[in-house]
Amino acid sequence: MQMKKAMAISMIAAAISVSAVTPAFANTAAANQAVQISTTNFFVNANPVSIRTIVDGGVTLASVRDITNAIGATLHINSDRTVVVKFGSHTLKLKNASTSINLDGAARTISHPAKEVAYSTFIEPAAFVKALGGSYDNNSISTVELLDGAEHAIWANASQLIVSNTAGEGREDYLVNAATGKYELLLASEGASELVLSPDGNHVAYSDANGAVFTIDLSTKQPKQVSTDTSIKNELQWSTDGASLFFLQGDKSSVVAKVTIADGKVSKVLEDKIDYKANLEVSADGTQVAFYVFKQPKVTADSSKDVELDDVAIDATGTEPQIYYYNTAAADNKSIQLTKDSADKVFLQLSADGSKISYVSVGADDASVGQLVSIDNTGQTSTPAFADKDVYQLVQGGSKLYLLTADGNSTNAIYEIDSATGTSKLVQTVSDSTSELIVSSNANFAALIDGQLAVWTNGSWKNITN
């Protein structure tokens, strides 16, 4: 424990790089001694900023004026040398050598007194920034108001995520800056499907409660109706060329269909009379699809008998979800069942060339752990080699697969799997409160941790929503 604490302190110290050191004298008689003023690199709303700092009694203090300038606040000094800072709706007053500050008319105490050196006032940056309504984390200052909550998120591009939250009778989707957390509303909807991102990252698509399909240009935020077809559409999936959207059609998700973006025309891709398909996956060239099927147990019930007899029986034999594959080149509307085992299956991922399907398999036993399994499109199963840990989630990021797994007593782990070789690599450990991993095509990481969206940046998780 001691060693880890020491390491953490070292890391913080290393992170605060010092570019210049200038000796100066404190302005109070009691502290009339040389104080070194350094220039330290901070990040203010994700932008690098140089701020003067001193170390007083082992505590790093930062220049009030420098922080004020960096966050866009105003500062003036009264005749009694009270420093007055105004930022947004807040007014903060402080005095040299005092641990008492006045915030919006109310006195509060800070743990270390402000100090005036060379006619500049220095203060604990965390206390100062938080008093003004911002957040502070390891010489990183943010004054951006963060979005409340994050129920679902996808990467839009390297610098933005789309974050979805329930709101009233519907849902709101926001574009959120991955570095600062600054957000803007993209769509407010009722009954709309989740947004799916086009392969070029320029558009999202969704279907509304009536089945109509829309796209939104992320640069203009303007929605455009693509199709007026009212059939029920589940699990929209873009084709790699962005020309069409595949989906599962109907209340029973019986048909794999696609709608052409240019003309809204809906056409059937697979009509194999198998109901309740789910987790639709489409190969890069759009010619191969994979999905799993929920089969219903056989129920025997004689409606002519007295209800009180409960003459009903359920036979669930052979009804575990199974994976199916179809190559449109066959043109026979006959999907191929690839699996027949009794394990539960979730998180299907079809490789870009359609040759392999990876998924998380959970055995029939209640104590079974999740395992990553891959199967080729002829039905031959193999299990990629990786640390044998309970898999909670499988996501695809570019050409790699990523796993959120169990780890230590209070941690989860993120593993990267090379889908070509099956080799695995531990990426990092995370809190076991991590409920969802979000990986971009170029391996940027975000995660839902305790209901907040955090982004892995500069070696730590940074919350970008409340």
Binding other proteins (rule: CB under 8 A), the pick from 166, 380, 381, 383 is 166
Give whichever of 177 and 234 is closer to other proteins, judged by the CB atom.
Answer: 234
CB 148: neighbour CB atoms within 10 A? 10
Q: Does 251 bind other proteins (CB under 8 A)?
A: yes
The answer to whether the beta carbons of residues 460 and 445 sit under 8 Å apart is no
Q: Does 395 bind other proteins (CB under 8 A)?
A: no
Strands (E) located in 78-182: 83-87, 90-94, 100-103, 106-109, 115-117, 120-123, 135-136, 140-142, 152-157, 160-167, 170-177
Give the whole-angstrom CA distance, residue 466 versus residue 452.
6
Q: Does 466 bind other proteins (CB under 8 A)?
A: yes
Q: How far is the CB of 98 from other proteins (least distance, A)?
A: 26
Binding other proteins (rule: CB under 8 A), the pick from 1, 29, 262, 329 is 1
Q: Does 313 bind other proteins (CB under 8 A)?
A: yes
- Which residues inside 350-379 make contact with other proteins, applying CB under 8 A? 360, 362, 364, 366, 368, 370
DSSP, res 8: H
Q: How far is the CB of 409 from other proteins (least distance, A)?
A: 5
Q: Does 131 bind other proteins (CB under 8 A)?
A: no
The stretch near other proteins (CB under 8 A) out of 23-31, 62-70, 264-272, 386-394 is: 386-394
Written as six digits, the tokens of 77 are: 């000094």
Give whichever of 52 and 347 is closer to other proteins, judged by the CB atom.
Answer: 347
Give the whole-angstrom CA distance, residue 429 versus residue 424.
14
- Which residues inside 39-98 make contact with other proteins, applying CB under 8 A? none
> How many residues contact other proteins, by CB under 8 A?
86
Q: Does 317 bind other proteins (CB under 8 A)?
A: no
What percentage of the chain's residues is helix, strand, coil (to nearest 5)?
10, 50, 40
Written as six digits, the tokens of 149 are: 């909550």
Q: Does 151 bind other proteins (CB under 8 A)?
A: yes
DSSP, res 309: G
Q: Give the three-class secondary structure for 420.
A: coil
Give the whole-angstrom CA distance, residue 131 versus residue 114.
14
> Cα torsion for 394, 398, 400, 406, to the nearest 10°?
-30
The stretch near other proteins (CB under 8 A) out of 59-67, 90-98, 330-338, 454-462 is: 454-462
Binding other proteins (rule: CB under 8 A), the pick from 93, 112, 252, 400 is 252
The answer to whether the beta carbons of residues 112 and 124 sit under 8 Å apart is yes
5, containing H or E segment: helix 2-15
- Which residues inside 175-194 make contact with other proteins, applying CB under 8 A? 190-194
- Return the closest-CA partner of residue 374 out of 342, 340, 350: 350
Q: Does 318 bind other proteins (CB under 8 A)?
A: no
Q: Does 144 bind other proteins (CB under 8 A)?
A: no
The stretch near other proteins (CB under 8 A) out of 3-11, 21-29, 179-187, 256-264 is: 3-11
- Which residues inside 271-310 make contact with other proteins, applying CB under 8 A? 276, 278-279, 294, 296-301, 303-304, 307-308, 310
Q: Does 18 bind other proteins (CB under 8 A)?
A: no
- Which residues inside 202-231 make contact with other proteins, applying CB under 8 A? 207, 209, 211
> Cα torsion for 116, 121, 126, 132, to the nearest 10°?
140
